Amino acid sequence: MPRILPIAPEHIAGFREALGAVARERAYLAHLDTPALEWATAFVTNNIARDHAQFVAVEGDAVVGWCDILPNARPGFGHCGSVGMGVLRAWRGQGLGRALLEACLEKAFARGLTRIELEVYADNALAIALYRKLGFVEEGLKRRARVLDGRAQDLRVMALLREPRRSNPGSEARTPLTRFAMIIRGPGYTPEVHRHRLDSGAFSTTVVCVASFEQALPVARELADGGIQLIELCGGFSPEQAAALGRHLGGRVPVGAVRYSEEEQRRLEGLFGFESPEGAE
């Protein structure tokens, strides 16, 4: 299963190629061909710099899907974001579109957006079904919005709303915990393969398995970059390693560890042989 990752500079070329492949189908996107490398570079670089919600599905070194939700910069519309997404033909029907969109929605809402909009061609039944499952509501129809290759297509306008958070008068506004992750350590685990996400719609838990403390460092950074709000380590990590991992993240995300009694902690140390957290700064 491809990994869902926040987009990074190393994904620019793959994102451009994936966008071009879907565009050349001439059915789902406004783009009809591969965009210029300069455009793709500027687009992704701007999204990273502004911390916009943009994720990619990566299989090996190839980008096989993407999704972004970009805020509206016009005065009075800053609470709105627009969806753009696509998945390569060979990877459709495997849940990638949903995983990408859910990741973007969580980050967009965490960034304060309260209205997410999209337009989808009315003959794209699979995409419309996905949007409905995630709570999008149809708000209108643009009849004959595009006429291409002798075929007219209507556009459905859909949106998903979330009520803005309100704090009690005189109290500090708090962001509720909705995205939690746990890192589990065990022999033979590979974080790219051994991971799972449980999502209730109101709360998301991501579980990633690693074989060593060193593997946990980039995993934790990936989770934090993806909008995870709290990371907990299993008993296979020492308290010192939990503290080192928190420093590695620069304090951006609280990092905790499962605690045991002193006697049980000594037994765990014998089972796991904790490594030194050296090099985690």
Where are the chain's structural domains? 3-161, 179-272
pTM score of the predicted model = 0.61
CATH of domain 179-272: 3.40.50
Residue 137's DSSP bridge partners are 159
The C-alpha atoms of residue 166 and residue 143 are separated, in whole angstroms, by 38
Q: What mean pLDDT comes out for the span 1-30?
A: 95
What separation in angstroms does the CA of 151 have from each of 124, 147, 175, 222, 276?
14, 5, 47, 43, 64
pLDDT in tens, 55-109: 999 999 999 999 999 999 888 898 999 999 999 999 999 999 999 999 999 999 9
Superfamily of domain 3-161, CATH level 4: Gcn5-related N-acetyltransferase (GNAT) (3.40.630.30)
3-state class (DSSP) for residue 144 = strand
Q: What mean pLDDT comes out for the span 38-61?
A: 93
pLDDT in tens, 218-266: 999 888 877 889 999 998 888 889 989 988 888 888 999 887 777 776 7
Structure-derived torsion over alpha carbons of residues 86, 92, 95, 99, reported in degrees to the nearest 10: -20
- Give me the pLDDT at residue 103, please: 93
pLDDT in tens, 117-150: 999 999 999 999 999 999 999 999 999 999 999 9
In this prediction, residue 174 has a pLDDT band, given cuts at 50, 70 and 90, of: low
